[in-house]
Structure 1
């Protein structure tokens, strides 16, 4: 969901004359309320704005896909019986979840900070005024709903990673207790039996 919101945010905010739409692709079917020199000006501003937001989509996609693939790998490796999992794997899983949660927290902070800085630029302000003249007030320099949704889903992921840490540590304790009890039982069953003759 984070990945989808990041990509959706990029295309929603690209405007009527984004670079992908100016080359005669499927975007050329969109109706544009701009004409003449105004169209040329808004096209330039749209392109400048999408270039400013390009690091957000590339960084967001890289982080989301990277952590998503790693998380799936950890889940598949850990989808075994608790008795068959190596003891250190559960600690590794807990450490990964902590790092992933910290990574997502940092990523959300950086993403929102950069988005707000981009929205504070003169390019965004001029673009907002041009769209407002045509009644398109939704194309403004406030934080978009898709950016907020991406941040919200990322925060939910942080909570889920936190729960994963707790469950991994709990499973580690249960596994340790289980193996220790089996070891004690084995030692008891293998203890030598002494036969006493009853005479000195």
Structure 2
């Protein structure tokens, strides 16, 4: 969901003139309230704005896909019974979940900070004024709903990774207690036979 929201935010905020060419093709068949020099100004501002937001989509896609693939790998490797997993693996899983939670938490802060700085640029303000003249007030310099949705889903992932840390550590303790109890039972079974062989 984070990946979808990041990509959707980029294309929604790109503006409807950003991908059009000045020649023929799809752009000529699309309704545009802008004409002449005004259309050219909007197109240039849209392109500048998408360039400013490019690091957000590239960074968001890289982090989402990277952590998603690593998480699936960890889940597949850890899909065993507690007795089959090693204690080191459970600690590694807890460490990975902690790092993932911290990464997403830092990513949220960086993403929103950069998005707000981009919205505070003269490019965004000039673009918003041109769109507002035609009644398109939704293309403004406030934080977009898609950006907020991406941050919200990322916050949910932070909570889920944090829960995974707790569960992995609990599993490690349970496994440790289980191995200790197994060691005690095996110690009892290795006792000399005469202690247990009595005639009644």
| Greater than 4 Å deviation, 4+ residue runs | 23-29
Q: Which runs of 5+ in 2 are unaligned?
A: 196-200
For residues 116 and 25 of structure 1, what CA distance do their matches in structure 2 show?
Answer: 34
Corresponding position of 1:68: 68
**Residues 66-118 of structure 1 deviation map (CA, whole Å, 9 limit, x = unaligned):** 00000000000000010000111000000001000000000000000000000
Matched, 1:2 2:8: no
Matched, 1:32 2:32: yes
SS at structure 1 position matched to 2:80: coil
- How large is the Cα RMSD of the aligned pairs? 1.4
Cα drift, residue 187 of structure 1? 1.1
For residues 26 and 175 of structure 1, what CA distance do their matches in structure 2 show?
Answer: 62
Change (3 A) 1:137 1:105: same
Corresponding position of 1:121: 121
Change (3 A) 1:123 1:35: same
Deviates more, 1:28-37 or 1:170-179: 28-37
Matched, 1:22 2:21: yes
**Residues 23-51 of structure 1 deviation map (CA, whole Å, 9 limit, x = unaligned):** 76766653211110000000000000000
Q: Tell me how many residue pairs correspond in the alignment.
A: 194
- Tell whether the 8 Å contact from 1:16 to 1:30 is kept in structure 2 after alignment: no
Equivalences for residues 38-53 of structure 1 within 5 A:
38-53=38-53
Cα drift, residue 4 of structure 1? 0.2
Q: TM-score, normalised by structure 1?
A: 0.93
